Amino acid sequence: MSEMPVYNLYMGCSVPANYPNYEAAMIKVAEAFDIQLEYMEGVGCCGSPNLRSIDYMAWLTVNARTLAIAEKNGHDIVTPCNGCFGSLKDVYHFLKHDANHRKQVNTILKKEGLEFKGTITPRHFVEALYTDIGITEIQKKVTKPLDGVGIAIHYGCHLLRPADVTEFKREYLNELIEATGAKVIEYPIWKQCCGATVLPVDENLGIRLARDKLKSMKENGAEFVTVVCPACGNQLDLQQLGLKESYGEEYNLPVLLYPQILGLAIGMDEEEVGLSMNRVPAAPILDHLSG
């Protein structure tokens, strides 16, 4: 690689609070691939999706503000959270095409000396890995490939849709998983939501959706699950523990964040990727590492 890619790292609020293992694994994986991640200064929660539901202008403004700060720094944003990614990407897309709202938002941002111009792109960390590093380079660093164990991917709605906004293809994540030596397990309801967004309004429904996904993954031969979003992770991992009580079902499907899997495959140990913080014990993945 000729030049070390530099990105604005936008954490949002959920990953730092709930998934320090995701954050740490991502940063270490980035270091291993000579990607420079710089924590953004003066930014916070994206408000997704609740703020978008009740206060569209505020949602536009707060995300436009994040984008405007990144524009000042001159680097693309990467984020590990589908919610943040969806929000930033949607606002970026919308404001680029809607001059009227852009003007309104910029009037507010002007007070802070900021302006949204649309000059940098918000991106998901895994998309940056896929596009800027590439599968070939990733494979070169895989020293402890997985043994073809079946992993089901939950992509997360806001990573994939609306496709004209997110511009993310599921194949990216499939190839990233395959690059670690694992096998991608196809299951019929791969598009289905994890249920996270509906929790505040109907908790049982949210849990039911998570359960249906886990059931479908397991039935189709998955031994592990990977996610790239803290909200989806919470639904599939933490909620899985409660299914024994609510549904009388046990799935024992460890849920790993993608950088944890890649980290292990390129030779990190379980502590470096914070495996003990996963709720469903994830240590069985270690038995599938070769070399």
Partner 1 sequence: MAETKEPAGPPVTLTEPIEMSKLDVKFREEIHSMPNGEELSACFACSTCTAACPIANIWKYKPHQLIRMILLGMRDEVLSSDEIWLCLTCFQCQERCPQKVRVTDIFFDCKNLAAEEGKIPANIIGLAKELLEKGQLYTVTADWEREDMGLEPEVPGLSVDALKNILKETRTNKIVDSGE
Amino acid at 129: L
Pair of tokens at residue 58: 């505020």
Cβ atoms < 10 Å from Cβ of 55: 13
Are 78 and 123 in contact by the 8 Å Cβ rule? The answer is yes
Pair of tokens at residue 285: 């993945």
> By rule CB under 8 A, what count of residues binds partner 1?
57
Minimal CA–CA distance to 152: which of 180, 197, 129, 182? Answer: 182
- Candidate residues 36, 53, 143, 252; the one interacting with partner 1 per rule CB under 8 A: 53
Are 249 and 239 in contact by the 8 Å Cβ rule? The answer is no
Q: Give the binding range for partner 1 (CB under 8 A) out of 119-127, 155-163, 249-257, 258-266.
A: 155-163
The answer to the question of residue 123 lying near partner 1 (CB under 8 A) is no
Are 95 and 61 in contact by the 8 Å Cβ rule? The answer is no
Site string for partner 1, 189-208 (x = CB under 8 A): x-xxx-x-xx-xxx--x---
Site string for partner 1, 219-258 (x = CB under 8 A): ----------------------------------------
Q: Which is nearer to partner 1, 29 or 193 (CB)?
A: 193
Q: Which residues contact 82 (CB under 8 A, 6 or more apart)?
A: 124, 156, 157, 158, 159, 228, 229, 231, 232
Q: Which is nearer to partner 1, 4 or 54 (CB)?
A: 54
264-283: which residues touch partner 1 (CB under 8 A)? 274, 277
Minimal CA–CA distance to 66: which of 100, 86, 92? Answer: 92
Location of structure tokens 């998570």: 210
CB of 254: closest distance to partner 1 in angstroms? 18
- Candidate residues 1, 44, 117, 286; the one interacting with partner 1 per rule CB under 8 A: 44
The answer to the question of residue 36 lying near partner 1 (CB under 8 A) is no
Q: How many residues can be counted in the chain?
A: 291
Distance of CA 185 to the CA centre of its chain: 19
Q: What's the farthest any 2 CA atoms get from each other in the chain?
A: 58
Q: Which is nearer to partner 1, 149 or 256 (CB)?
A: 256
Q: Which is nearer to partner 1, 57 or 286 (CB)?
A: 57
The answer to the question of residue 21 lying near partner 1 (CB under 8 A) is yes
The answer to the question of residue 215 lying near partner 1 (CB under 8 A) is no
Q: Which is nearer to partner 1, 182 or 257 (CB)?
A: 257
**Which DSSP helix (H) or strand (E) runs through 241?**
helix 239-246
- Candidate residues 7, 24, 154, 261; the one interacting with partner 1 per rule CB under 8 A: 24
Strand 150-153 versus strand 36-39 pairing type: unpaired
The answer to the question of residue 104 lying near partner 1 (CB under 8 A) is no
Instruction: Using CB under 8 A, list all residues that contact partner 1.
Output: 11, 13-14, 16-18, 20-21, 23-24, 27, 39-45, 47, 49-58, 61-62, 65, 94, 98, 101, 108, 112, 157-158, 160-163, 189, 191-193, 195, 197-198, 200-202, 205, 209, 274, 277
